Structures are given as structure tokens and as C-alpha cells.
């Protein structure tokens, strides 16, 4: 079984002021994903459908009162926006012949201190066994710590959890970058792609500090994937915006990127 | 805690050839529901967003092969349509000030022989405790019997299950009829509304046989509600199309209809 993560940045116009789909990218990525030849789960990020609201309502920050109406409103609006985003993605995947089933994290996952605690994966497993492609996503969920109450559950945390629980062979993490570099390639023309990252690799923090990513940005991703590597599951970061990358990756071909093991 | 069921027939144009929202009714019903003054769960039916596909793909009939592609397609399309319907409903409820959270049955419920077997209600309970109004709905779900595989889970079955599990005080079942009659009021002008139905009430089967309702029609509803009455939970059938009925019912006032106990 493989897990294909499609970054929200590849599917939306991330700097948009309102949730905005990148229709052209979605069309191409859905077409490429249809070349899968193994059991597959797709996990997608939030992009502008989620980050705008998660930031506006500061979901994940401590509620100010036991019943914080502003945070409750934020949870409702963020979840509804992600539900619509997931709907747009699964219907496009279905158009391309993928038996895509939307799976809503906030209906079956609860975190404690922002890490997954309640999560029955048996339904996802059965969808896969019956020939479906479950499509899970980053969502705003309930947190069992009463001081936290609400949390942003990133697509990256979902991947780590599902990969371990469902004993996946391969994780493909597609985003809007080629992989992990020795330095920020946007500022440093000499930055080189690192082909393999392990716990021993010395990484320079290259995240663009101007761009706050509520789900943790690239360092967050790497930490999730290193945790996966600790369990013996390899993953690969590839660029979803390079035509053909996802098609090659889901059909088992070699793609330029960073392997984490 | 109360459960308010809103029948799909009141929210959609049920005879439409494609899923069609009844915008005017949704607007009014959402406004009326906002007068709730107790913890509340809303359950909505499928109407033309679900029944068209459930019938077309004969979901609930035995699959022809272990991997029946036509049924798999039907599951994908029915679920996606219901996801969109739920999205339209929760965003309208939110507009009216209700902290509505969509809860997707096919992500956490599995049936066996078409009756709920796997269903963790703790997340729904916590949404209620935190001040949300969970909005659950009839959906196409996985069935654990390998000869059945896929099932239509009706909103009515969900109500019965949640009412028992979450120890609700009251169930309000709103539909497009005033309640249960002594005969079919559409054919017999002398038909009278039955104000109270118990296991001892002799009922004439008045369902219109021309109109196949995949979720079981009125007799299906009555049987679900009698099972609830067996557990000591009263429910009331009221007409959602009569202005003011839902507002009065959710705020605890008396409404014309049929009480089942």
C-alpha cells in the first residue's frame, strides 16, 4: 500500500485572500494519480482552504474561555471549508477514474495535546480492501486536553499515523519544492538537493520565516517523516508541480527528490 | 439533548432528475432551527442528493462480483453527493448562527446486514459538550457482511442509534407530512391524524407504493421510532413544511403531529 500526500500548496493558490482552487494543477495531478498500480490512500493538505481560517481564528492556541465562541465559529468555518475542498478533489479524482472516497478526520479522530489519540483506521483499511482510494485531509479536530480543546491536525501527522497503523510500503510526499536542499534555493543559487536524509543528516533550517505555515512547514514535514523512518518506512519528497512526477511516483518509477529513511 | 431530524424531502426537490436543493425551505428551516434552547444534534435525510444515485446503482443489493466496479462507482458518487448536500446545509445553519459541524457517517460507521455495528459516538458527544451542533446524515456505508458489502444507512436508523447511545430526551422527526394518519390523506379525505402511536396502535399501511423510498418510507420511520419508544424515548413526527413547526418544536412548544411512545 502506498500513501500519496498532495500538498495544499500544489492544489490551491496559497497566497489568495479567500479559498481558491488551482484548477489546472488539480486537473493534471488527478490525471497523474490515476496511474497508481498498488493499493493507495491519498492525503491532501489544506492550502488556502484551511490556512486562512486556521490563522484568522488561531485554532490551536488556548481558548480564552471554556466556551470560546470565536474559536467555536472558527472550527465550524475551517471544517466546512475543508469539507468543500475535499469534495472538489474527490469529484475530480472520480472524473479521472479513481474510486475516491472522502474520509473526514474530524468525524473520527481526536487528538491529545495536538497528537492523534483516538483514530479507528479499520474503516480506511476496509475501503482499501474493497478497492476504493480513501482521500483523507488536514482538518480542525477536537483535542482531549481541556486546555487545548481544538487542534489543527496536519496532513503530515495523518500520513505518519496511517503509514504505521496500516503498514504501508511507501509514502510519497508531493509539494511545491523538489525536495530538501542544503540551503534555501530561493536565496542561495548554490543550494543543492539532498537525495537522502537520515537522522544523522545535518540540516540547515531553510524555512522562509515570512511564510507562517500553521502545520509546521518543511521542518514539520521532515520530523514527521523521520519518525516514520524510525519505524522502517521510507518516504520521498517530490515536486508535484513538475509534470509527470506524481505519475512516475505512483506507478513505481524513479523520480528526482529527497528520500527519507 | 434533542435530536432534530430534517427529512430530505423538505430540503430538496425530491422528484428532480438531478440533486436539487429547495433553497427557500432550507433558508426557513435553518432560521427556525436556530431557536433551539437545549443541546441539539441535527440529522438530515438524503432527498434527491442521495436517492437518485442509491436507486440507480442499487446500493444495498448484493454485489454481482467480489469487486463490483459499478457498485464501487455508485458508492463514490452517492457519498460525494451527500457530502456536498451536508456542506450546503451546515453553511446555511452557520449563517443563521448555529455552530454546525458536519459529521460524516461513512467515515466512522460500518453496518452488518444493514444495521449499525461499528459507531463510536464519543466524538459527537464531545462536540455537543463543547457547544457545537453536530449535523449527521443518511449516507452510503461499508457493510461488514461480505455478501452485502455496501449499505444505505438511513437518517432514521442513525436517529434511533444516537438517541439510545447518547441518552437523548426528545426526538423531533420533521418531514413533509403532518404525522401518521388513519388512512392515506392524499387519497382519502376522511383520513384523520393519529395523535399518539404505540406498539398497540393498528396502522394501515398507507405508503404510496409508486414512490419507492430506498430508506424505507414512513413504515420504516415508524418501526425505528417504536424501537426507540421501547427504550423509553418519545419522539414526534411533525411537518417541516408548515411554517413555525420546527421553531416551536426545538424551543419546546407544542406542535401538531404524531407522538410515538
Beta bridge partners of A40: A2
Q: Does A211 touch chain B (CB under 8 A)?
A: no
Mean pLDDT is lowest, of A206-210, B7-11, B77-81, for A206-210
Distance set, CA A144 to CA A53, A117, A127, B26, B40 (Å): 22, 8, 27, 34, 21
Q: Per the CB < 8 Å rule, is B126 touching A118?
A: no
- B-chain CB neighbours of A103 within 8 Å are 104, 107
Dist. CA A7–CA B21, nearest whole Å? 32
Give buried/exposed letters for B112-151 (b at 16+ CB in 10 A, else e). Answer: eebebebbebebbbbbbebebbbbbbbbbbbbeeeebbbb
Tens of pLDDT, residue by residue over B102-129, are 999 999 999 999 999 999 999 999 999 9
Q: Is the pLDDT of residue B182 over 90?
A: no
3-state secondary structure of B180: strand
Residues of B in contact with A65 (CB under 8 A): none
Nearest CA in chain B to A104: B107
d(CA A141, CA A166) in angstroms, rounded, equals: 21
Contacts of A157 by beta carbon, 8 Å cutoff, 6+ apart: A115, A116, A224
- pLDDT value for A16: 86
Q: With 90 as the cut, is the pLDDT of residue B191 above it?
A: no
Which of B72, B80, B127 faces A102 most closely, judged by CB atoms?
B80
Q: Which region among A78-82, B63-67, B81-85, B93-97 has the lowest average model confidence (pLDDT)?
A: B63-67
In eight-state DSSP terms, residue A29 is: H
Residue that has been written with the C-alpha cell 497566497 in this structure: A15
Distance between CA atoms of residues B68 and B20, nearest Å: 28
Q: Is A183 on the interface with B (CB under 8 A)?
A: no
What confidence tens digit (pLDDT) does each residue in A82-128 have? 999 999 999 999 999 999 999 999 999 999 999 999 999 999 999 99
Give the mean pLDDT of A136-160: 95
| Average pLDDT over chain A, rounded to an integer | 91
Least confident of B74-78, B128-132, B191-195: B191-195
CB contact under 8 A, B72 and A131: yes
Nearest CB to A104 within list B84, B104, B130:
B104
Is the CB of A49 inside 8 Å of chain B's CB atoms? no
Q: What is the pLDDT of residue B225?
A: 87
pLDDT given at position A175: 86
- Residue that the C-alpha cell 452517492 belongs to: B78
Alpha helix segments (H runs only) across chain B: 8-11, 23-33, 47-56, 69-95, 122-129, 155-165, 217-230, 245-250
Q: What is the mean pLDDT of chain B?
A: 91
Q: What is the dihedral of CA A21, A23, A26, A29, to 10 degrees?
A: -150
| C-alpha to C-alpha distance for B9 and A211, rounded to whole angstroms | 47
Nearest to A108 among B69, B123, B130 (CB): B123
Q: Please state, for a pLDDT cut of 70, what percent of chain A lies above it.
A: 95
Count the neighbouring beta carbons within 10 Å of the beta carbon of residue A149: 21
Q: What is the pTM of this model?
A: 0.93
Lowest-pLDDT choice from B76-80, B151-155, B212-216, B251-255: B212-216
- Say whether pLDDT at B206 is over 70: no
**What is the distance between the alpha carbons of residues B24 and A200, in angstroms, rounded to a whole number?**
62
Answer yes or no: is pLDDT of B234 > 60. Answer: yes
B55-63 CB contacts, 8 Å cutoff, 24+ apart: B55/B212, B55/B214, B59/B140, B59/B150, B59/B151, B59/B152, B59/B214, B60/B114, B60/B148, B60/B150, B60/B151, B60/B152, B60/B214, B62/B147, B62/B148, B63/B149, B63/B150
Q: Is the dihedral of CA A47, A49, A52, A53 positive or negative?
A: negative
Of B76, B101, B110, the CB nearest to A79: B101
Asked if residue B87 has pLDDT above 60, the reply is yes
A75 with B132: Cβ contact below 8 A: yes
Using one digit for the tens of pLDDT, what is the confidence trace for A178-227?
988 888 777 888 889 999 999 988 776 555 444 344 445 677 778 888 98
CB of B176 within 8 A of CB of B153?
no
Residues A77 and A80: their CA atoms lie apart, in Å, by 5
Residue B129 sits at the chain A interface (C-beta within 8 Å): no
User: What is the pLDDT, as a whole number, of residue B211?
Assistant: 39
Work out the percent of chain B whose per-residue pLDDT is above 90. Answer: 75
Q: B87 touching A, CB under 8 A?
A: yes
pLDDT at residue B216 greater than cutoff 60: no
Specify the pLDDT at position B224. Answer: 80
Residue with cell 412548544: B253
Q: Closest partner residue to B107 among A75, A118, A123, by Cβ? A: A123
Tell me: pLDDT of B210 over 90.
no
Chain B residues with beta carbon closer than 8 angstroms to that of A83? 83, 86-87, 90, 102
Lowest mean pLDDT across A154-168, A197-211, B141-155, B239-253: A197-211
In DSSP terms, which residues pair with B110 in a beta bridge? B118, B142
Mean per-residue pLDDT, B124-149: 97
The runs of H, that is alpha helices, within chain A are 8-11, 23-33, 47-56, 69-95, 122-129, 155-165, 217-230, 245-250
Summarize the confidence of residues B202-215 as an average pLDDT: 52
Chain A: closest CA distance from residue B150 (Å): 10
Amino acid at each position: 500500500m502506498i500513501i500519496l500526500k498532495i500538498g495544499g500548496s500544489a492544489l490551491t493558490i496559497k497566497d489568495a485572500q479567500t479559498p481558491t482552487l488551482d484548477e489546472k494543477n488539480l486537473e493534471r495531478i488527478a490525471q497523474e494519480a490515476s496511474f497508481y498500480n498498488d493499493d493507495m490512500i491519498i492525503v491532501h493538505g489544506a492550502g488556502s482552504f484551511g490556512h486562512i481560517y486556521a490563522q484568522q481564528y488561531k485554532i490551536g492556541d488556548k481558548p480564552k474561555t471554556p466556551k470560546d465562541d470565536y474559536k467555536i465559529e472558527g472550527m465550524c468555518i475551517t471544517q466546512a471549508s475543508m469539507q468543500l475542498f475535499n469534495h472538489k478533489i474527490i469529484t475530480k479524482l472520480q472524473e479521472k477514474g479513481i474510486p475516491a472516497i472522502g474520509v473526514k478526520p474530524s468525524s473520527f479522530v481526536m487528538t491529545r495535546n495536538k497528537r492523534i489519540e483516538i483514530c479507528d483506521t479499520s474503516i480506511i483499511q476496509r475501503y482499501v480492501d474493497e478497492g476504493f482510494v480513501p482521500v483523507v485531509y488536514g482538518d480542525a479536530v477536537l483535542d482531549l486536553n481541556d486546555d487545548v480543546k481544538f487542534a489543527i491536525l496536519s496532513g503530515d501527522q495523518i500520513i505518519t499515523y496511517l503509514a504505521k497503523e496500516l503498514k504501508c510500503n511507501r509514502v510519497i510526499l508531493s509539494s511545491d519544492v523538489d525536495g530538501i536542499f542544503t540551503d534555501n534555493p530561493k536565496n542561495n543559487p548554490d543550494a543543492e538537493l539532498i537525495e537522502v536524509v537520515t537522522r544523522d543528516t545535518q540540516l540547515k533550517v531553510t524555512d522562509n520565516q515570512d511564510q507562517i505555515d500553521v502545520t509546521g512547514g518543511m521542518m514539520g514535514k521532515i520530523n514527521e517523516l523521520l519518525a516514520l523512518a524510525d519505524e522502517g518506512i521510507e518516504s520521498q519528497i517530490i515536486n508535484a508541480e513538475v509534470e509527470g512526477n506524481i505519475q512516475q511516483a505512483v506507478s513505481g518509477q524513479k523520480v528526482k527528490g529527497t528520500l527519507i529513511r
